[in-house]
Amino acid sequence: MSSTGTTISATSTSRINPMTLELSRLWAIAATTIGALVPNLVIWLLGLAAGGSFEMTDAGKTSSVAPGGVVILTVVPILIGMTLAALISLKWVAVIRPAEVIGALLPLATIALTIQADFDTASTIALSVMHVVIAVAVVAGLEAMRRPLVRAAHV
pLDDT tens series, the chain, 155 aa: 444 443 433 443 334 445 678 999 999 999 999 999 999 999 999 999 999 999 998 888 999 998 999 999 999 999 999 999 999 999 999 999 999 999 999 999 999 999 999 999 999 999 999 999 999 999 999 999 999 999 888 77
143 touches 17 (CB < 8 A): no
pTM of the full predicted structure?
0.86
Closest CA to 44 of 104, 101, 123: 123
Q: CA-CA distance, 81 to 83, in Å (whole number)?
A: 6
Closest CA to 71 of 105, 107, 38: 38
Closest CA to 25 of 107, 145, 143: 145
The count of C-alpha atoms lying within 13 angstroms of the C-alpha of 132, restricted to the half-sphere facing its C-beta, is 7
Task: Return all residues near 98 (Cβ < 8 A) that are at least 6 apart.
Answer: none
Closest CA to 89 of 134, 145, 35: 145
Q: Dihedrals φ, ψ of 25, to 5°?
A: -55, -50
**Peptide bond just before 67 cis, omega within 30 deg:** yes
Radius of gyration of the chain (CA): 19
